[in-house]
């Protein structure tokens, strides 16, 4: 996938095409898009686990619906991340002399998008981690492994997205978005890590 040409939505690619697209010697899609798509996949697992919880399970229908909503948001953020990177690349390559008055603000706006998109990914991933962890603990025991996988994937995506926020804000240590992103990632990790058995003896029948 060429960085400088219009490309189809990542959602329109087959799995094989998507993997090839990420593996190519191009910068986008990269870590941000991968984190967003991982979040979307985690949301899909969460929705599945919620639907298997049964009609009588408290909050299961609402959890499934919310997971579906978050999956759509996360999937859209994958394309948004690619677009943000390309817009920043274009802005950075534009000679300052071409528009000396607007160049700084346009570059700033493009940079902000490369920060705000992964921050949104971290926000969505944190919520998915919470939903999935709840289903792993209280949902259908046969789906505990699926729900826990959703939580662990979402937590990893939150950490990845937070790292990208900090990387894109290098040189701006006072930007509050760094702290917000790191806080979301830390909260997601705490939630997900609580699902992992610490010893083989803690593994219950039917778990994972």
Q: What is the domain count for the chain?
A: 1
Q: pLDDT at position 171, please?
A: 83
pLDDT in tens, 25-46: 988 899 999 999 999 999 999 9
Does residue 81 form part of some domain?
yes
Mean pLDDT of 108-119: 91
Does residue 174 form part of some domain?
yes
Give the pTM.
0.87
pLDDT in tens, 183-205: 999 999 999 999 987 655 555 54
Expressed as residue numbers, the domain containing 172 is 31-197
Does residue 173 form part of some domain?
yes
Does residue 99 form part of some domain?
yes
Of 54 and 53, the one with more pLDDT: 53
Q: Quote the CA–CA distance of 70 and 177 in Å, as a whole number.
A: 21
For 164-203, b/e burial (b = at least 16 CB within 10 A) is: bbbebbeeeeebebbeebbebbebbbebbeebeeeeeeee
Inform me whether the pLDDT recorded for 172 exceeds 60.
yes
pLDDT in tens, 59-95: 888 999 999 999 999 999 999 999 999 988 887 777 7
Does residue 139 form part of some domain?
yes
Confidence of residue 8 (pLDDT cuts 50, 70, 90): confident
CATH at 121: 1.20.120.680
Confidence of residue 102 (pLDDT cuts 50, 70, 90): low
DSSP code string of 98-117 = GSTTTHHHHHHHHHHHHHHH
Inform me whether the pLDDT recorded for 119 exceeds 50.
yes
Does residue 6 form part of some domain?
no
Inform me whether the pLDDT recorded for 1 exceeds 50.
no
Q: pLDDT at position 56, please?
A: 62
Inform me whether the pLDDT recorded for 98 exceeds 80.
no
Does residue 63 form part of some domain?
yes
Q: pLDDT at position 55, please?
A: 63
Q: pLDDT at position 16, please?
A: 97
Does residue 7 form part of some domain?
no
Q: pLDDT at position 204, please?
A: 56
Structure tokens at 36: 């967003």
């Amino acid at each position: 996938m060429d960085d400088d040409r219009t490309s189809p939505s990542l959602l329109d690619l087959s799995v094989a095409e998507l993997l090839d697209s990420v593996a190519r010697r191009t910068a986008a899609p990269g870590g941000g898009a991968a984190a967003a798509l991982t979040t979307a996949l985690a949301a899909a697992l969460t929705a599945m686990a919620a639907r298997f919880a049964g009609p009588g399970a408290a909050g299961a229908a609402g959890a499934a619906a919310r997971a579906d909503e978050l999956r759509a948001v996360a999937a859209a953020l994958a394309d948004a991340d690619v677009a943000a990177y390309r817009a920043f690349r274009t802005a950075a390559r534009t000679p300052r002399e071409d528009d000396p008055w607007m160049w700084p603000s346009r570059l700033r706006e493009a940079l902000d998008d490369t920060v705000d998109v992964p921050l949104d990914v971290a926000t969505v991933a944190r919520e998915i981690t919470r939903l999935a962890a709840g289903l792993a603990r209280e949902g259908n025991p046969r789906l505990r492994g699926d729900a826990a996988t959703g939580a662990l994937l979402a937590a990893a995506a939150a950490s990845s997205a937070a790292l990208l926020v900090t990387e894109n804000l290098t040189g701006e240590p006072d930007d509050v978005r760094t702290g917000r992103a790191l806080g979301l990632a830390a909260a997601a990790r705490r939630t997900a890590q609580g699902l992992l058995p610490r010893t083989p003896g803690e593994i219950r029948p039917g778990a994972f």
